[in-house]
Structure formats: C-alpha cells, structure tokens
C-alpha cells in the first residue's frame, strides 16, 4: 500500500474498506503514524489510544456493513468515553475515567467506528481559542503561531492535519463552526435536540449540541446520520425522524432562496473575510440561487443574552465538581468548606471561574429578574427574528467569524474582545437552529475563511445540500496545510 | 394579652415507586452503601435526568385526594447549594409552577371539624445521607443510595391553630397517603418528614407574627410537643416585651426544648431557575381521568359510609377507617358475621390490643377476618358464651387455629341443655346450705355466689342465662 491513507475522507476510506482495497488496521496505523508526526507541532490530542487499544474490532474486512465500520475517529474530550480518561481539558477531571459511554459513542461503536483518541478543547468548552485548556493550547495547522479556534480546536486541527479521518466536537456558541472556519474544514452544529446530549459534559444545557467536524460535506452527512436521533436518556432530544442526509446531497441550487442578514456584516470585520463571503454569495447566485437581504434586528443583543444564559447554566452544571465523589480533591483542607474552596480554586482555570461567577451573579436573588429572566425573554425575540427571516428564504448565509484565526496570546487577556468575536455564531444556539461552516477562501496570510449556512429547525438536509452545492463547485475543501 | 398560634406544616413524603425519580435505580431501603446508584443519580459528568412517570401518577393521585387543582403545565427547577449528600450541587425540585395547588383536608379534634388548606404539592428528589465517623474518626461518610428517591412536598396553609390540630393533620395526611398506597407514612423511618412554621399573634389580629421554623420532629407526638413548647416559649418572649426572631430551631426530644440554629446556618440563596434538562410537564385531562379511576375510597368517605351503612357511632367508624387494611378487615369479617357493632367491639378491643393497629400487623395477624366472624357467629348461636369467646380468641391469636377446632379441642362448647345444668345446680345447692339459707332469708346478692359456683363446676361452659333462671327456680 504505497498510497498515503491519512488524507482520505470518510467516504473515500469507507469505499476502499468495503472493496477490500485496504484493511481498517492499515488505515488506523497510517493515521496513528500521522498523529505521531504532527502532534509535536499542533498538539491536538489530550489522549491518543495505543495501537492495539484503538482498533478492538478491526479485522481485515469490516464485519459491520455500516459506512463507518473500521473508520478511525477523534472525539472531543468533553464527550464521555467508557474506560478512557475524559478530562474536559481541566485539572479538576484530569484523572476521571468514566464508567459509561455517551450515547453518540455507543452509536459509533455499534457501527464499528474506531476511537483514535480524545481531542483538546478550551476547558469545559468555555472559550473561542482552545487557549484555556489546562494541558496547553492547540496550534492551527495552517499557521502554528495562530489559534485553531475554540472550543473544539483540537478536533478541528486534527481534521485539518489529517490526524484523524473525521471528528466529533460540541457547539454551545459556535464551538464547532468557528474552529472549522479557522482550520479550513467542515463543521456542523445540529438543531438543538437532534443529537443526544447524554454523555456530553454539560456547559450550557439549553445550548449545547454535539456535531461532526470533517474534511468535506459528504463526510459530515455520513457522521451526522449515525449520531442523530431520539435518545430516551436525553429528555431534551426530540423524537423526529432522521432523514437520509447523504441522499439529500443533490447539489441542486436552483429554486433555493438564500437570505443574507445585514446585521451579520459587522463593523470591524476583516475586509478579506467580507470579500470572500460576498464572492461566495455571488457565486451561489450565478449557480441558480436567489439572494435576498433580510434583517435580524435583535442581533446586537445576542452576545449579552448568551453570556448571561450560558454562564448561569454553567454555574449550576459545574457545581458537581466539588472534590467529594470523583476527580481532583485538594489536599490539606481541615474541613468541608475549605476543601470545596481549595479544590475548585486549584482545579478550575481562570476563564471557567470567571464564567461561574458571572452565572452565579445573574441567578442571584435580586438580580435574577434583571438578568436571567430578561435574557430568556430576549432569547425568544432572537428566535422570532430567525422565524421571520425564514419566511422569506430557505437558508441564511453569513460569514462564520468576523476575522480569521488570530495569534496565540493575542486576546487571552481581553475576555470581552474574545466574547465579541462570537457574534456571528451565538444567536444560532440561542435559536436552536442548525448551522454549518465550510471553507470559502483564504486571507492574504493564508489563513482559512469560513462560510456559514443556517437553516430552519431540523433542516440539516437543506443546509448540507446548499453547502455541498457550493463545495462541489469549488476546490477549497481539497486544500491541506503544509505541515 | 391572649395569643393564638398560627401554624403551617411542610411535609416531605417519600414515594413508594420501584425506581428513583430520574433514573432506574431501586428505591429499596437497606442496601449496602452506594449500591443503588448509577452515573445519573451520582451526578457524574454528562448525565441527564429522565422523569419517572409513576412519580407523576402518585403525585396527581395525592393532589386529587387532597382536593387540589392539578396544573396542566408545571416545571422543574434547580435548587442550588453545596453539600456532600447532594452530588450534583443542586436538587431538582419544583418552584414557581408546582404540579398541584389550592387543596385542603379535613381534620377532627374533639368533635370540632376543621378545614386545613393545602397550598401546594410538588415533586423533588431526595438527597443522600452523611454518616459522621464515630469517636476518634474525624471523617464523614457519604451514602448516596437515597439520592434521587422521589419525594412529594406537601405544604399546608397556615390554617392550623393548635399543636393538637397539627398532630391531627399529620395523622390524617398519613392515613391518606397510606390509603393511596403512595407512601409508607412512617415518621420514625423517615418516609414521612415534617417541618413546622409557627408564629403567634394577638387573638383577633389578621397580620402574621414573626415565625420560627421547627425541624427534627420524628413522630406525631413530637410534632405536638415541639409546637406546645414553642407556643410557650414565644408567648413568654412576647409577654416580656421581647420579639420573636425569625430563625430555624431544632427540637431536642430528650430535653423537651427547641434550640436555635442561628449562627450555624447561613441564609441560603438557592438561585432557583427552571431546569433546562427537563421539558415542562404537561398533564392533560385524560391523564387526570386515568389517575382518578385508580383512586380508592378515601378515609373520610369510608368513615361516612361505615356510619351510614353499618349504623356505627362516629368513634367506631373513625377507628376502623384509620387504616385501609383495618377497614378491609372489618368489612371482610362483618360480611360473614353480619353484626357490625359486635365485630367493631371485638376489633377495637381484643384485636387492636394484640395487633397494635399497625397496618402490617393487621395483615399478618393470626386471627383472620373469617375466623373472627366464625367465632362471633358461634356466640350468636349460643355455642359459646361471650366469656368463653375471650379464651377462644386468645387461643386463635396464639395458634392460628379456627374457632371450631379450638372449641372442639378444648371442649368449650357451651352447655345450654337444661337437664345437664339442673344437675349441677342441684349439686351446688346441696353443697352450700348456708348460702341457700342466706339467699332465702333475703340476701339476693348471694345469687352471684351460686352462679359462680355453677360456672366453676361447669368450667365456664354453662349458659349463664339458663343458670340464672334455674337457680332462681330452685332457690
């Protein structure tokens, strides 16, 4: 086998495995070798499985006839994996080995997928750059001095560097889409309730979703197919039938109306980003889509709304990390409150603490109505903006991020700046609608630019198809960083 | 100045569902520590709660039995605080929108009937247990078996006016939840817990006084005693010109006093917010109807019916319907015996003395209803006397044998044959000439002596009525 295997897409690898042109073992070994080669540069993994651990069921031919059988995948380290350390890139869970699998992991295992390892993230998924990870930041494979985006930076970088065939991430305010944009790969956040959250370590329960990060749109469709669907263990997952996502990839654009929200071309946006997105829109129009301008008037409140609701939920979700039952427990405390204080002071990083404090404040007696309740009400208005916009169009197309990847360390001391950069992705989680980011160009320094396609609730097939139509008529997805 | 007490009770009832409220773990008592746990009730990273429908059924049942409105839309909320027996660092409960509201129950104290309002009933999960180390062991141990066991919190309106009424309320509530088979209602074991809020105000005033919250009362008697103490304490305070401080006080049963917890407990801000992991609960009329069909005849209704149908005095009806098992026993027995008052007397007297009225004991009592009925019929037929029946009853309790067998084995059949009794009467008269003389000279009381002698000679089996008649004839 002289052909390089690690750059294969999921659908390419799957076809070769089905035809017997290679074995899963060969593929996994090739990817593990790639990991060895690039990890010192990009540091995308927290835990890499040993060669023999990573392919429990791989034989010469996949006994499982699923398209995912024998395919090596990476999983963000806030998704619980049985028997495999799950740290959330936090000191407080650095030694936590779960006794159970997340539902998405069970589903992948059922289909014969192979788990390569757990990827790096911002601590507890709180961040936009992977810089808050307790085990060090991940580097953007396109420019090692830059962030890969966050919080699923490890997964995005691993996909871009071919250090996995595909990956899973999680998205609460843009954490799949934004790193996908920064790393020039595909990232999809499903509709809230489309994919089970059981086993996703909760950050903001009403916003979190697990989704695929892949080398192309077809791969995203294939991976979504396996993980989507009602789960009785997750009361917020919906019992809505899962369509055939791959079959929906017709590439047909004629008859489609694309809405462009004017509020999404923000002040301070990098000119190359705006140019690339406008060019993509023009291209879509040329290929048969109708472009209309729409307005999402409450966009300016999205950041504030998000940072009140997400932190409020997080402050409660992270209360369980108290050193009593599992995870890190500080030494030297003489009584209970001291133990709690030391454990959480030592176990959590700065950003996590910042958000816990913000959230606690927003829920406190005397402030609840002005902050939490008010934010919930504004959330409804934001959702209604999207409902109204979708009366005029099938999908919305926007830039994913106002800028390309910034340099490591550039915004770490300015959390507010960091928060504002999420302006284009946050509202999507607040409304619960699905969104996908695909590459649509590069800036002058060679950093990838992402195009975001948004759809109505449960219309992943629609956004996948529009994304596919654009992708197949361009070459961005075939480009790889020189590592 | 005369003061009246204003009392409200907050009761937590542990529900008897097989599994916990948000996961499949068993709720069975007594397992090894941390054996009835799973990632969900342990609060591990990534887990999610899933509501046990039976818990909702039980709560709707209770709501209907307490005349509540069942809300068609209710929410779960998180109550946030840190404690080792609370694994998630929050308790899932209900706050702004509980499942049941605006109900009431009736209590009867010294013949006075009173209506006590029930403000709300909501569902929540129980916490685990902290077990503090014994002497020399400074560690505390956490057993999370109980985390996630379903609780119903029943809050009364501050309509209760005396400690006695409070105890009556608790007894009535216990009776109802046991009738419904939703809770064991055992305060000593902790399946029924009670906290009280009590304040005083001048008689006739409408504003509420400052209240104290009482905890740690583990029986109906203790609820009453604690409240009695508190009434005295607050009265004394107010009469001395002082004021009551709003605080939590613990009842110390050994010393018979309530003690302030002030300083040991900071005021908690629980930061309640709707739990985003659970969707709002929607209960439609069809669901409520389904549950309504499963409601048994409740204590008050049963009591009224017993009074009407069996012509029993209120006191009897109350005792017999205090527990469902006892009411079932009564009706099963009476069905055969067809003598409600007689059955009632035997149950209230002899049976409850032996079986202590505890519902489990009634079920396991060696004297089954049919056996008691049989015995009562034998009395009715004259086969045995009422006095002999006491012996038969005692033997039934001991051996579990039927009255027929016992009477046969012990040769206790009553002698009613005049011919037989006459022989004994004549023997006794012949043997006691002095007493005969006394009787004939006017001492009528001596008849009792003769009756006694005849009964003794016949080993209690002679029919007393016949004995009396024959003696009077012969003397």
Q: Do A312 and B273 touch (CB under 8 A)?
A: yes
For residue A413, give the DSSP letter: T
- Domains of chain B from N-terminus onward: 3-290 (no CATH), 297-409 (no CATH), 418-474 (1.10.10.410)
Placement of tokens 């070459």 in the chain: A475
Confidence bin at B357 (pLDDT 50/70/90): low
Closest by CA to A99, choosing from A86, A82, A115, A85, is A82
Interchain contact B280–A (C-beta under 8 A): no
B44/A202 touch (CB, cutoff 8 Å), yes or no: no
Number of cross-chain residue pairs from A and B with Cβ atoms under 8 Å apart = 99
Cross-chain residue pair B89–A316, CB shorter than 8 Å = yes
Measured between CA atoms, how close is A126 to chain B, in angstroms? 15
Among the listed residues A76, A111, A118, A256, the single catalytic one is A76
pLDDT of res. A59: 41
State the nearest Cα–Cα gap between B122 and chain A, in angstroms. 20
Whether B84 contacts chain A with CB within 8 A: yes
A437 is catalytic: no
Helix (H) or strand (E) holding A304: helix A302-317
Judging contacts by C-beta atoms under 8 Å, the chain B residues touching residue A86 are 45
Q: Which residue out of A175, A196, A401, A421 is catalytically annotated?
A: A175
Pairing between strand A114-119 and A72-76? parallel
Q: Do A201 and B43 touch (CB under 8 A)?
A: no
Residue B43 clears pLDDT 70, i.e. is over it: yes
**Catalytic, out of A44, A90, A129, A151:** A151
- Model pLDDT, residue B469: 86
Residue B177, pLDDT score = 97
If phi > 0 it is left, if psi is from -120 to 50 it is alpha, else beta; for residue B89 that is left
List the single residue in B89, B142, B279 with the smallest CB-CB distance to A320: B89
pLDDT of residue B356 exceeding 80, the answer is no
Selected residue of B46, B89, B125, B145 to mutate for chain A interface (largest A Cβ count, 10 A): B46
Tens digit of pLDDT for each residue in B166-194?
Answer: 999 999 999 999 999 999 999 988 999 99
- Is residue A66 annotated as a catalytic residue, yes or no? no
Of the candidates A202, A313, A322, the beta carbon closest to that of B46 is on: A202
Closest-CA residue in chain A for B22? Answer: A233
Shortest CA distance from A362: residue in chain B: B271
Whether the predicted pLDDT of B316 surpasses 80: yes
> In sequence order, what are the residues at sequence separation of 6 or more whose Cβ sits closer than 8 angstroms to the Cβ of residue A212?
A166, A167, A168, A169, A176, A186, A187, A188, A219, A220, A223, A224, A227
Encoded tokens for B362:
């009634």
- Closest Cα to residue B46, out of A326, A25, A390? A326
Class of residue A335 by CB neighbours under 10 A (exposed 0-12, middle 13-18, buried 19+): exposed
Within 8 A of A203 by CB-CB distance, chain B residues are none
pLDDT for res A55: 47
Task: Retrieve residue B373's tokens.
Answer: 């009925």
Closest chain B residue by Cα to residue A78: B46
Q: Which chain B residues have a beta carbon less than 8 Å from that of A315? A: 80, 271
Q: How far is CA A89 from CA A58, A261, A353, in A?
A: 29, 35, 14
Q: Count how many residues are written for chain B.
A: 475
The pLDDT mean for chain B works out to 92
Is A58 a residue of the active site?
A: no
SS3 A453: strand
B88 touching A, CB under 8 A?
yes
Residue of A209, A308, A363 to mutate, interface with B, max B Cβ within 10 Å: A363
Q: For position A57, what pLDDT does the model report?
A: 47
Average the pLDDT over B288-301 and give the result: 96
Determine the residue of chain B that is closest to A206 in CA distance: B276
**Maximum distance among all alpha carbons in chain B?**
100
Nearest CA in chain B to A238: B279
3-state secondary structure chain B: CCEEEEEEEEEEEECCCCECCCCCCECCCCCCCCCCCCCCCCCCCCCCCCCCHHHHHHHHHHHHHCCCEECCEECCEEEECCCCCCCCCEEEECCCCCCEEEEEEEEEECCEEEEEEEEEEEEEECCCEEEECCCCCCCEEEECCCCCCEEEEEEECCCECCHHHHHHHHHHHHHHHHHCCCCCCCCCCCCEEEEEEEEEEECCCCCCCCCEEEEEECCHHHHHHHHHHHHHHHHHHHHCCCCCCCEEEEEECCCCEEEECECCECCCCCCCEECCCCCCEECCHHHHHHHHHCCCCCHHHHHHHHHHHHCCCHHHHHHHHCCHHHHHHHHHHHHHHCCHHHHHHHHHHHHHHHHCCCHHHHHHCCCCHHHHHHHHHHHHHCCCCHHHHHHHHHHHHHHCCCHHHHHHHCCCCCECCHHHHHHHHHHHHHHCHHHHHHHHCCCCCHHHHHHHHHHHHCCCCECHHHHHHHHHHHC
Domain boundaries, chain A: 300-377
> How far apart are alpha carbons B379 and B388 in whole angstroms?
9
Q: Please tell me if residue B142 touches chain A, with a CB cutoff of 8 Å.
A: yes
Tokens of B435: 């007493």
pTM for the structure as a whole: 0.91
Give the model's pLDDT for residue A61: 42
In order of A141, A264, A463, the CA distances from A454 in angstroms are 27, 12, 6
pLDDT by 10-residue block (mean), chain A, 483 residues: 88 95 95 97 96 48 76 98 98 97 97 96 97 97 98 98 98 98 98 98 98 98 98 98 98 96 91 97 96 97 97 98 96 94 98 97 95 98 98 98 95 81 94 98 97 98 98 96 93
Inter-chain residue contact B276 with A205, CB threshold 8 Å: yes
Sort strands A257-261 and A395-399 into parallel, antiparallel or unpaired. parallel
- Alpha-carbon distance of A62 to A59, in angstroms, equals 6
CB contacts of B90 in chain A (<8 Å) are: 316, 319
Tell me the per-residue pLDDT of B429-463, one tens digit each, with 9 for 90 and over: 888 888 888 888 888 888 888 888 888 888 888 88
Work out the burial of residue B280: count CB atoms within 10 Å of its CB; fewer than 13 is exposed, 13-18 middle, 19 or more buried: exposed
For B82, name the nearest residue in chain A, comparing CA atoms only. A319
Which residues in chain B touch residue A340, judged by CB atoms under 8 angstroms apart?
A: 82
The separation between CA A340 and the C-alpha centre of its own chain, rounded to angstroms, equals: 32
Look at residue A416 in the predicted model and tell me its pLDDT.
Answer: 79
* DSSP code per residue over A365-393: TTTTIIIIIHHHHHHHHHHHHHHHHTTT-
- φ, ψ for residue B5, nearest 5 deg: -90, 140
- Does the beta carbon of B131 lie under 8 angstroms from any beta carbon of chain A? no
CA atoms within 13 A on the CB side of A439: 28
Under an 8 A CB cutoff, do B44 and A100 touch?
Answer: yes
pLDDT for residue A225: 98
């Amino acid at each position: 086998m002289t052909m390089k295997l690690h750059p294969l897409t999921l659908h390419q690898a799957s076809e070769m495995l089905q035809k017997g042109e290679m074995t899963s073992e060969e593929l996994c070994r090739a990817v593990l070798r790639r990991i060895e080669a690039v990890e010192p540069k990009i540091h995308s993994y927290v835990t890499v499985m040993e060669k023999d651990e990573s392919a429990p069921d791989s034989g010469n031919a996949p006994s499982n006839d699923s398209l995912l059988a024998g395919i090596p995948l990476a999983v963000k380290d806030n998704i619980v994996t049985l028997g495999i350390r799950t740290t959330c890139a936090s000191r407080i869970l650095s030694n936590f080995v779960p006794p159970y699998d997340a539902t998405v992991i069970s589903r992948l295992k059922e289909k014969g997928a192979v788990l390569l390892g757990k990827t790096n993230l911002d601590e507890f998924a709180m961040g936009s750059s992977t810089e808050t990870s307790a085990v060090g930041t991940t580097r953007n494979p396109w420019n090692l001095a830059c962030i890969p985006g966050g919080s699923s930076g490890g997964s995005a970088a691993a996909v871009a560097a071919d250090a996995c065939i595909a990956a899973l991430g999680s998205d609460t305010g843009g954490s799949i889409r934004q790193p996908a944009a920064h790393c020039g790969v595909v990232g999809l956040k499903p509709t809230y309730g489309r994919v089970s959250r059981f086993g996703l370590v909760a950050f903001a329960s009403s916003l979190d979703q697990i989704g695929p990060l892949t080398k192309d749109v077809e791969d995203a469709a294939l991976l979504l197919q396996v993980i989507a669907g009602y789960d009785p263990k997750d009361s917020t997952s919906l019992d809505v039938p899962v369509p055939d996502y791959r079959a929906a990839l017709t590439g047909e654009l004629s008859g489609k109306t694309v809405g462009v929200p004017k509020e999404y071309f923000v002040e301070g946006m990098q000119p190359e980003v705006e140019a690339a997105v406008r060019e993509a829109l023009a291209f879509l129009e040329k290929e048969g889509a109708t472009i209309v301008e729409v307005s999402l008037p409450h966009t300016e409140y999205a950041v504030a709304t998000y940072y009140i609701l997400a932190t409020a939920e997080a402050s409660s979700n992270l209360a369980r990390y108290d050193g009593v039952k599992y995870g890190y427990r500080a030494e030297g405390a003489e009584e209970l409150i001291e133990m709690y204080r030391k454990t959480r002071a030592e176990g959590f990083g700065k950003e996590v603490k910042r958000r816990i404090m913000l959230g606690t404040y927003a829920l406190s007696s005397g402030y609840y109505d002005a902050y939490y309740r008010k934010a919930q009400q504004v959330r409804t208005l934001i959702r209604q903006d999207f409902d109204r916009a979708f009366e005029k169009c099938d999908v919305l197309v926007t830039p994913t991020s106002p800028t390309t990847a910034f340099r490591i360390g550039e915004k770490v001391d300015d959390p507010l700046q960091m928060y504002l950069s999420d302006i284009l992705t946050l509202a999507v989680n607040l409304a619960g609608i699905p969104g996908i980011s695909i590459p649509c160009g590069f800036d002058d320094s060679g950093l990838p630019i992402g195009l975001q396609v948004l759809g109505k609730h449960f219309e992943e097939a629609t956004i996948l198809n529009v994304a596919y139509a654009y992708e197949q008529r361009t070459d961005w997805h075939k480009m790889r960083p020189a590592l | 100045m005369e003061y009246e007490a204003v009392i409200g009770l907050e009761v937590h009832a542990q529900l008897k569902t097989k599994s916990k409220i948000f996961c499949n773990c068993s709720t069975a008592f007594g397992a090894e520590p941390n054996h009835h746990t799973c990632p969900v009730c342990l609060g591990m990273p990534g887990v999610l709660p899933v509501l046990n429908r039976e818990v909702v059924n039980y709560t709707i049942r209770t709501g209907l039995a307490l005349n509540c409105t069942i809300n068609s839309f209710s929410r779960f909320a998180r109550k946030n605080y840190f404690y080792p027996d609370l694994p998630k660092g929050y308790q899932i409960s209900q706050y702004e929108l509980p499942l049941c509201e605006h109900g009431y129950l009736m209590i009867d104290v010294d013949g006075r009937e009173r209506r006590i309002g029930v403000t709300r009933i909501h569902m929540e999960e129980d916490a685990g247990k902290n077990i503090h180390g014994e002497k020399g062991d400074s560690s505390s141990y956490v057993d999370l078996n109980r985390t996630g066991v379903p609780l119903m919190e029943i809050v009364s309106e501050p309509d209760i006016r005396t400690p006695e009424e409070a105890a009556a309320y608790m007894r009535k509530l216990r009776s109802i939840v046991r009738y419904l088979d939703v809770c064991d209602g055992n305060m000593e074991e902790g399946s029924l817990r009670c906290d009280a809020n009590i304040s005083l105000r001048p008689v006739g005033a409408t504003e509420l006084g400052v209240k104290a919250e009482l905890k740690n009362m583990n029986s109906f008697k203790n609820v009453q005693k604690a409240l009695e103490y508190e009434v005295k304490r607050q009265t004394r305070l107010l009469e001395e010109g002082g004021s009551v401080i709003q605080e939590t006080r613990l009842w110390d049963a050994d010393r018979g006093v309530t003690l302030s917890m002030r300083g040991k407990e900071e005021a908690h801000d629980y930061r309640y917010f709707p739990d985003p992991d659970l969707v709002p609960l929607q209960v439609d009329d069809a669901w409520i109807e389904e549950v309504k069909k499963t409601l048994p005849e409740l204590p008050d209704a049963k009591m009224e019916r017993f009074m009407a149908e069996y012509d029993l005095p209120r006191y009897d009806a109350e005792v017999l319907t205090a527990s469902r098992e006892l009411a079932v026993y009564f009706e099963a027995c009476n069905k055969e015996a067809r003598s409600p008052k007689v059955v009632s007397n035997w149950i209230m007297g002899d049976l409850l003395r032996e079986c202590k009225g505890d519902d489990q004991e009634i079920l396991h009592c060696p004297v089954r209803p049919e056996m008691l009925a049989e015995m009562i019929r034998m009395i009715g037929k004259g086969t045995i006397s009422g006095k002999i029946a006491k012996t038969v009853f005692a033997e039934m309790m001991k051996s579990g044998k039927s009255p027929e067998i016992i009477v046969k084995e012990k040769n206790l059949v009553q002698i009613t044959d005049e011919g037989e009794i006459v022989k004994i009467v004549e023997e006794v008269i012949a043997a006691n000439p002095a007493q005969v003389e006394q009787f004939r000279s006017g001492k009528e009381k001596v008849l009792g002596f003769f009756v006694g002698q005849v009964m003794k000679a016949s080993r209690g089996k002679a029919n007393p009525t016949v004995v009396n008649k024959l003696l009077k004839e012969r003397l």
